[in-house]
A and B are shown apart, each in its own frame.
Chain A
Amino acid sequence: DAGVIQSPRHEVTEMGQEVTLRCKPISGHDYLFWYRQTMMRGLELLIYFNNNVPIDDSGMPEDRFSAKMPNASFSTLKIQPSEPRDSAVYFCASSLALPPQETQYFGPGTRLLVL
């Protein structure tokens, strides 16, 4: 398996623009997670899905952030409008079950810079 795939790997945009990050989980994994990594706070869980249904979005920072999972092989994280403080690395992860029962497998991340 190719592992978790994320695109784009790098994104530079201007404040106010819409940003869409994409993720393809490992085939057969029922859980998908979106994380954000910053220097100050480390890795923070934003939202996770089970069988394409959002289960916990309490980590989503603001209404500017939204996530969807239209099918088992694709998810998006959208920021609209983007702000400089959204600059971070965004990771997608997938797993067969919730931790700690199963390991989460992370994608390579999308490095976002909002100018």
Chain B
Amino acid sequence: DQQVKQNSPSLSVQEGRISILNCDYTNSMFDYFLWYKKYPPEGPTFLISISSIKDKNEDGRFTVFLNKSAKHLSLHIVPSQPGDSAVYFCAATFSGNTGKLIFGQGTTLQVKP
């Protein structure tokens, strides 16, 4: 029972264009969402997050959008750079200190020069 789903295993975009990575969740109790980035062979590193009281959070070239009614969030990277090529995981949690980050399966982004 996957509560957080990333339905696109991979995405390929041209350098300079926009990359859009999608994530869906099923549990309406989630109130905080995060994106992690993973370069092989390293572990995931935190990228950006958003609270459910917001619908957008921006950090430089990275913007996360949250649509609570659709239980959907997306990560936009503009403009995409070859160095952005990595695996991106979305994660959801409850702000009530449960300790659990529920991750999706990950999407591999390739940005072509």
Identify the A interface with B (CB < 8 A). Answer: 4, 9, 31, 33, 35, 37, 39-45, 48, 55-56, 91, 93, 98-101, 103-109
Contacts and interface: CB of A to CB of B under 8 A. Distances in A.
Given A35-B103, A99-B99, A100-B93, 12 more contacts: A42-B6, A45-B102, A91-B43, A93-B43, A100-B49, A104-B46, A105-B45, A106-B36, A106-B42, A106-B44, A107-B43, A109-B43
Interface residues of B, number: 28
Contact of B42 (A37, A93, A101, A108): A108
A43 B34 CA distance: 13
Nearest to B45: A106
Contacts, number: 66
B98 A98 contact: yes
A69 B32 CA distance: 28
Interface of B: 2, 4, 6, 32, 34, 36, 41-46, 49, 51, 89, 91, 93, 95, 97-106
Given A31-B99, A98-B99, A100-B93, A42 B43 contact: no
A60 B63 CA distance: 34
B99 A42 contact: no
A18 to B, nearest CB: 24
